[in-house]
Amino acid sequence: MNLTNQQLLQHQAFINGEWVKAEKSFEVKNPYDNTSLGEVADLGAEETKLAIEAAENAFIPWKNLTASKRSRILKKWCALQHKHKKDLATILTLEQGKPYAEALGEIVYGASFVEWFAEEAKRVYGDVIPGHGNDKRITIIKQAIGVVGAITPWNFPSAMITRKVAPALAAGCTVVLKPSELTPFSALALAKLAEEAGIPPGVFNVVTSAKASIIGQEFCSNPKVKKISFTGSTRVGKILLSQAAEGVKKVSLELGGNAPFIVFDDASIEEAVAGCVDSKFRNAGQTCICTNRIFVQEGIYDAFISKLIPKVKALKTGSGMEVDTKVGPLINMAALESTKALLNDALSKGAKMVEGGNHLEGLLFEPTILSEAQANMDIFKKEIFGPIAAVYKFQTEDEVIRLANDTNYGLAAYFYGRDYARIWRVAEGLEYGMVGINTTLISSSLSPFGGVKESGFGREGSKYGISEYLNIKSMVWKI
C-alpha cells in the first residue's frame, strides 16, 4: 500500500496505548481485485476483557480532566486527520472499495465530528430548577456514563468511528471499539493518530477480530461496559439489544433503512434526478440512507426516467483508485448475490429493465434502473444495498405517504416538490428520523442522525449526540 506515512498502516490491535499481537490473524482483501492488503490481529473475549479493564482504569482520570483539556486533545486528533487525509482515504478505498473522491470526503466528514464534539465538550450544561419548597433547591448535572463498547460497520469505516468516539471522549467516557473485520485498517490508522494526538492510554482502544459475535457478547455481558453504540444491520442490532438488556445498559442503535425518494409533479425534475443519482449510487448503493424506493408522480414519470437514464449510463464502474470511477465494487460475494436476487425477483414480477442490470467483473455490478416497480416485489421491502434504482409510479399525496411508510424501517426519507403546504404535510407524515426536502445531503455534524421504528434509536451528531454518553443527576438541597 503506497502511503506517505507508512506508520498509519497498522496490523496489530490497540489496547491501553500499546500495539497488541495475537496468536491468530485474519486477512483483509481489496474488494475490487481480491488482492491481499495484509493480515490483522484476530482477538477474542479475553483480549476484549483486557481492553475493557484498561478503559475502566482510564475512565476516572480522563473524566476528571477539564472539558477544555479534553477539547484540546480532540482538536489535535482532528488536525491530524486532516493532515493525513490522503493516506486515510487511500487506506479506506483499498479496503472498502468506494471511489477515492468519496473516501476523501468521508475523511473530512468524519473529522468534522471530532471538531464539533471538541467544542461540545465545553457545553455540557446542567440546570437549576425551582424547588418544591422554600427550603429546597434543585440542581441538575450531567456526568460521563463510563466505558463505551462501540461496534462500527464496513461501509463508512472511518466516519462511523469518529461519529461515536468523538462525543464519547468529549463527554469524558472511554471507548473500546470493534471495527468491521472487512475494514479494520481505517480504524487502526485512526488509533495511530489518536496516540499521536496525546489521547492517554486506555481512553481509546481498538479490538480487531473476525469473531464479531464474541466481542459483541462480551460488550453486552461485561458489567464494566455501561453503554453500547452499534451501527449495522437490524438483525444484529436486535441481538445486541436483547443481550444488553440483562445488564440494563444504555444502548444506541443505528440500523437498516429503506429510504423512499418522492418526486411530486411540481418538482424540478433536473434537481430531483441529480439528487436521486447522488443518493442512490453513492458507495455503490451501500449506505443505510441510500435511496431505496423511488416514487414519481404519474404525470412526470416518463420524463423523470428519460432524464435519469443518461445520468446513470454515464456512471463509470471500476477501481476506486481510478480518477473517473463513480461506482466501485460491492463489498463481498454475499452482497453481489443479494443484489442479483433482488433484481431477478423484481423482473419476474413485472419490473422493466431500462438501464444496466449486468454483473461485470469481480464484485462490480452495473448501475441499474428498473421501471414499473411494484409493492409486491422483494425490492420494495428489503434494503437493497446495491446499485439498483427501482422506480414506482404514484397518483396522490395520501397514496405515496402510505407507500413510503409501508416498511419496518424509518431512517431517512427524501422528497422533491415546491408546494409549501404539501411540503409541511409530507414532512410531518413521513415516519422517519430524517427527511431531506429538495436535497439528499442530510448528514452533517450539525444535524442529529438516527431513525425510528426498526431503524433504531438514539442520535449521533449535533448537540443531541453527546447526550447519548451522559447520565443526568438530580441534586436536591435543603437550605
Residues known to be catalytic: 254, 288
CB neighbours of residue 119 within 10 Å: 14
> Left, alpha or beta for 359 (phi > 0: left; psi -120 to 50: alpha)?
beta
Among candidates 440, 417, 425, 424, which has minimal Cα distance to 300? 417
Which cell numbers hold the place of 356? 444496466
- CA-to-CA separations, 476 to 127, 128, 209, in angstroms, rounded: 12, 10, 46
- CA-to-CA separations, 123 to 138, 163, 236, 464, in angstroms, rounded: 20, 18, 34, 11
CB neighbours of residue 85 within 10 Å: 19
**443, 289 Cβ separation under 8 angstroms:** yes
**378, 292 Cβ separation under 8 angstroms:** no
Which cell numbers hold the place of 10? 497498522
The CB-side HSE value for 281 (13 A sphere, CA atoms) comes to 28
Q: Angle CA(100)–CA(333)–CA(28) in degrees, nearest 5? A: 55
CB neighbours of residue 401 within 10 Å: 22
Among candidates 299, 163, 314, 290, which has minimal Cα distance to 231? 163
